[in-house]
Amino acid sequence: MSQQIFREEYLQQQHQTEQGQILILSGLNQRIVTVCCIVVIGAILILLALGSYTKKTELEGVIVPSTGLIAVKAAQNGVLEAIDVEDGQQIGKSASLFRVNSEVFDTSGESINLRLKRSLEHQFNSLQSQRDYERLVTQSRIDELISKIDRLDLEIKSVQQSLEFAKQRTQLKKEARDSYQKLLKNNYISELSFKDYLSSLVSLQVDEENRKIMTQQLERERVAAQHQIDYMSLQGNLRTLELERQIDSLKQQQIELTSASETVVHSPVSGKITTLRAEIGQSVSQGEVLLNIIPEQAKLQVELYAPSRSIGFLRPGQPVRLRFDAYPHEKFGMQKGSVVQISQSTLTPAELKAQDQTIRSDAETLYRIVVSLSKSTIGVYGREEPLRVGMRVSADINVETRKLYEWLLGPIARMQGINE
C-alpha cells in the first residue's frame, strides 16, 4: 500500500469551496415545454409502432364496353358515296352503314367496270341462248328416236302376230304328214303329190324362221334406239351442266364486278354507333376504320394500363378509385370500382394503337387491367350523367400496406441485405 504525502483531511479541504453549489430553478413554461416534448416524442413513437401507410399506384385507362368495341372498316379503296347512319344511332344487325364507290374510268371518261359489265352480260346471254338451242336440238333428236321406237313396237307386234299364224300353219302341216304318208302307202296319192306336200311344209318352216329373224332385227333396232336416247340424254345433261357452270361463273364475275365498283357495308351486330369518322365524298383506304359500334346489352368497364413496375402487387378484387377527366374529381368526386382481370402478357404500343388506345406509355409495354364500375353514371349537378365509351380515366389502386416503422427501416434492411 503506497503512503500519501498529505493527510486525508487536507485533501478533502481542497475540494470544498466557500460559494457552495449552483442551483438552477426552472420556470413553469419550461416544464410545460418539457412535458409537451415528451408527449410529442411518445406520440411519434406510438404512431411509428401502430400507424400504417398504404402505397398507391396511379394508372391511366379508358372506358370500354365489356364485349369489346366493334370497329367497322372499309372493305376496299374508293370514295364514300353514302352514309346511312348517324353518331349515337341505335341500329339492328345487318343494317346498312355506308356505301363505297370504287369506279375506275378510262381516258375517254367511260367506266371500265361498266364496259366489263356489258361484256359479261353479252357472254351471259350468248351462253343462255346456246344452252337453250342445244336443249332444243337434243330434245328434237330424242323425240325422233321415241317415234322410231313407237313405230318399231308396232312392227314387232305385227310380225309377232304373223309369226304366230305361221307357227300354226306349220303345225297343222306337220300334223297332216302321217295322213299323207298313209295315202302314199296305199297308193291313193302319187309320190309327186307327197313331195309337193313336203315342199309346202318346208316353205312354211322357212317363212316361220324368216319372221323370227325379222322380229329379232326389229327388237335389236329398238334396243339400239333406246340406247341412243339414253346416251343423248346423258350427253345433253352433261353439256347443259357445263353451260350452267359457265353461266354461274359469269354470274359470279358480275357479282364480283358489282361489289368491286360499289360496296355496301352492313352492321355485324346490333348496337349503338359511336366515333363516326367518315364524311360523304371522303376517299377511304382498304382496312380504314370508319366507325365503331357498341354492341347491344354491353356493359361499361374500365381498361387500365400498367407498366411492369406497378403490376407486382395487383390482384383481382382489389378496390379502385376512379377519376374521369371529363368530370374533375375535385367537384364531382371519384367513383369506386374493383379489379376483375389482369392480363398475363403485355401489350406493345403498336398493339395499343391498333386497338385505338392512345396511352402515354413512353414506348414501354403495358399490362391490361379490367376494372368493373360500381355504376355506369356519375352525379353532375343533381342529375345522373351516363358515362361514355372512350372517356379517359385515372385510377388509384392500393397496392401495399405496411407499418410506418417498416417503411422507415426498409432501406436499412435492404442495405444490410446488400452488404451481406
Domain boundaries along the sequence of the chain? 8-52, 53-66+299-420, 69-95+267-295, 112-262
The residue assigned the cell 366493334 is: 70
What does the pLDDT read at residue 107?
Answer: 63
Does CATH number 3.40.50.620 belong to domain 69-95+267-295? no
Residues 205 and 203: their CA atoms lie apart, in Å, by: 5
Residues 75 and 59: their CA atoms lie apart, in Å, by: 36
Q: Is 111 helix (H, G, I), strand (E, B) or coil?
A: strand
Could you tell me how many helices (H) and strands (E) the chain has, helices first? Answer: 8, 16
What is the pTM (predicted TM-score) of this model?
A: 0.51
C-beta separation of 291 from 97 below 8 A? yes
What does the pLDDT read at residue 1?
Answer: 47
Strand ranges (E), 200-329: 262-266, 271-274, 283-284, 289-295, 300-306, 319-324
Residue stretches of the chain with pLDDT short of 70: 1-7, 9-28, 48-49, 51-55, 103-112, 178, 180, 184, 194, 257, 259-261, 351, 353-363, 400-420
Residues 21 and 17: their CA atoms lie apart, in Å, by: 9
Q: Which CATH code for domain 112-262?
A: 1.10.287.1490
Task: Give the other-Cβ count within 10 Å of 284's Cβ.
Answer: 21
Amino acid of residue 408:
L
Across 78-103, b (16+ Cβ under 10 Å) vs e yields bebbebebeeeeebeeebebbbbebe
**CATH class of the region 53-66+299-420:** mainly beta
User: DSSP label at 96?
Assistant: E
Residues 345 and 413: their CA atoms lie apart, in Å, by: 32
The values of phi and psi at residue 285, to 5°, are: -110, 155
